[in-house]
A and B are shown apart, each in its own frame.
Chain A
Amino acid sequence: MIRGAALMAGKDLRLEWRSKVGISQVLPFAVLVVLLFAFALDPDRGVLERATSGLFWVVVLFSAVLTVQRSFAVEAEDGVLDALRLTGLSPAAVYLGKVAALVVQLLVLEAVLALAVAVFYDTTFRGWPLVVGVTFAATLGIAGAGAVYGALAARLRSGNTLLPLLLLPLLAPVLISATRGFEVGFGREAGPGWPWAALLGIFAVVYLTLGAALFRPLLEDT
């Protein structure tokens, strides 16, 4: 199953690398939103600095919706889903492969975004271990839930407009926990930060388990 997942993830990443949709469309969008926030919240009044961690994760969530959409748009065309079933890969392997590819893409996006935030909002990233831990756990959770909802939205007629409504409320706990974790990491908020990372970890494990189990009916019902 690991081999199947790796094949699947490799396929997705190769596709992404060659089409450059993520790099040429999603990344610029993310940076654009960073700029838009600066226009909306006067940069001279210190609002941006105080809100940085929240804004960072809001941008990640919006970009994740686009990335998930893209990830399943390539499968919905030309009956690729049927072809996938014919490969003999288990649905769980397909799911984990999709998640792995999403995680890699989101981590790249977050790295660029961190750079953009550091430059535009003058953020200094302190508390490295916590910030990195929170980022990994949150990204795993976003990708785990995103892959399930991407697959089911791809099956529906107006699925693309529906995906944000379905996915974003589900990810509200991730937004809360990741933002608080960053706040503690940045030293803006007192108190232990690791419980937030742990909550994100639980979220990720729960959704990866559910997703692996629920992907079979999603893939096989046509």
Chain B
Amino acid sequence: MTVDNPPGTARPAAGRPPGAGPVPAHTGSRATRLLGIASLVGMVALVVFGLWLSPPDTQLGETIRILYMHVPTVSAAYLAFVITAVASVAYLWKRTEFWDLLAASSAEIGVLFFGLTIFNGMLWGKITWGVFWRWEPRLTTTAVLLLTYLGYLAVRQIPSDRRTRGTVSAVIGIMAVVNIPITHKAVDWWRGLHQEKTIFGTVDPDMRGLQLFSAYLGLVVFLLLFAWLLIHRFRVAWLAERVGDADLDVAIAERRAEGAQVGGGTPS
């Protein structure tokens, strides 16, 4: 019984005793190691530039430093949900495991980044407004969409056969992404009645020099991190499916052996 490697990783080490069970190879490859190192180094650079080298903003003051993380996390999350939707469409069309697992992995990381976005948005709120939560349009939209995608992940947790799970979650992945602009519009109009300082929007920080550099650096670093996490998450999901297959094979083989024993009429 062998475990197929996820696409893009090295073959498992030879010489593993046969029947040792599904011991998956690691999910790393040369490309992902480079990606991982690049995002770690970039993260350190972002901390240095964001917290020390760049000057505070004239309007936002020191809180502008939260933007260097806030904008990248929310951008990566939206990218993740678009990937989920595209992969969902591709799954309904091609019906291959690749697209199903890609959609699921991307949604999971999108939820993680959305959670981070709400967290650093709340930190910004505590400093700026004195409270963690106000019904600021962007934060409100993010919270609603986070719950939408928690529903998506909950569906993936329900034990069901792969085709049902794939179809149902693909439909949700498509519906949810279409809802993003509608939710944005509704929340914007709703809160437009009481305009106030928002994280980005009404207050448009006039970024220059090192501030602008830090903002773009943050974007690049978090996109690298996102790609790195996504590839690994996808490979883990792929291996988990293979382990499921292997367990099924073992169970079938055992039942067959039992049947043969009973059928053979071994004397007791």
Q: A interface vs B, CB < 8 Å? A: 145, 148-149, 152, 155-159, 162, 165-166, 169-170, 172-173, 176-177, 180, 189, 191, 195-196, 199, 202-203, 206-207, 210, 214, 217-218, 221-222
Q: Which residues of B contact A202 (CB under 8 A)?
A: 182
Q: Given A162-B154, A199-B189, A210 and B168 touching (CB < 8 A)?
A: no
Q: Are A156 and B155 in contact (CB under 8 A)?
A: yes
Q: Are A162 and B187 in contact (CB under 8 A)?
A: no
Q: Are A217 and B170 in contact (CB under 8 A)?
A: yes
Q: Are A152 and B158 in contact (CB under 8 A)?
A: no
Q: Are B183 and A218 in contact (CB under 8 A)?
A: no
Binds A, one of B42-50, B55-63, B145-153: B145-153
Alpha-carbon distance between A159 and B169 when the two chains are bound, in angstroms = 12
Q: Which residues of B contact A221 (CB under 8 A)?
A: 163-164, 167
Q: Given A145-B175, A210-B174, A169 and B185 touching (CB < 8 A)?
A: no
- B87 CB → nearest A CB, Å: 15
Alpha-carbon distance between A137 and B171 when the two chains are bound, in angstroms = 23
**B250 interface residue, CB < 8 Å from A?**
no
Q: Are B147 and A156 in contact (CB under 8 A)?
A: no
Alpha-carbon distance between A222 and B158 when the two chains are bound, in angstroms = 16
Alpha-carbon distance between A149 and B159 when the two chains are bound, in angstroms = 18
Q: Are B158 and A158 in contact (CB under 8 A)?
A: yes
Alpha-carbon distance between A180 and B191 when the two chains are bound, in angstroms = 11
Q: Are B171 and A176 in contact (CB under 8 A)?
A: no
Q: Which residues of B contact A207 (CB under 8 A)?
A: 175, 178
Q: Given A148-B175, A169-B147, A156 and B168 touching (CB < 8 A)?
A: yes
- A179 CB → nearest B CB, Å: 9
Alpha-carbon distance between A137 and B264 when the two chains are bound, in angstroms = 69
Alpha-carbon distance between A170 and B171 when the two chains are bound, in angstroms = 13
Q: Are B145 and A169 in contact (CB under 8 A)?
A: yes
**B186 interface residue, CB < 8 Å from A?**
yes
Q: Given A155-B168, A172-B186, A210 and B158 touching (CB < 8 A)?
A: no
With A149-B175, A157-B159, A214-B174 already in contact, 13 other A-B pairs whose C-beta atoms are closer than 8 Å: A148-B171, A159-B158, A162-B151, A165-B151, A169-B144, A169-B147, A170-B148, A170-B179, A173-B182, A173-B183, A199-B189, A202-B182, A218-B171
**B176 interface residue, CB < 8 Å from A?**
yes
**B190 interface residue, CB < 8 Å from A?**
yes
The binding surface of chain B is classed by DSSP as helix
Q: Are A217 and B92 in contact (CB under 8 A)?
A: yes
Alpha-carbon distance between A214 and B172 when the two chains are bound, in angstroms = 10
Q: Are B158 and A165 in contact (CB under 8 A)?
A: no
Q: Which residues of A contact B185 (CB under 8 A)?
A: 173, 199
Name the CB-closest residue of B to A171.
Answer: B179
- A23 CB → nearest B CB, Å: 30
Name the CB-closest residue of B to A159.
Answer: B158
**B160 interface residue, CB < 8 Å from A?**
yes
Name the CB-closest residue of A to B167.
Answer: A221
Q: Are B171 and A217 in contact (CB under 8 A)?
A: yes
Alpha-carbon distance between A157 and B164 when the two chains are bound, in angstroms = 11
Q: Are B167 and A217 in contact (CB under 8 A)?
A: yes
Q: Are B175 and A170 in contact (CB under 8 A)?
A: yes
Q: Are B155 and A176 in contact (CB under 8 A)?
A: no
Q: Are A173 and B171 in contact (CB under 8 A)?
A: no
- A72 CB → nearest B CB, Å: 13
Q: Which residues of A contact B144 (CB under 8 A)?
A: 169, 172
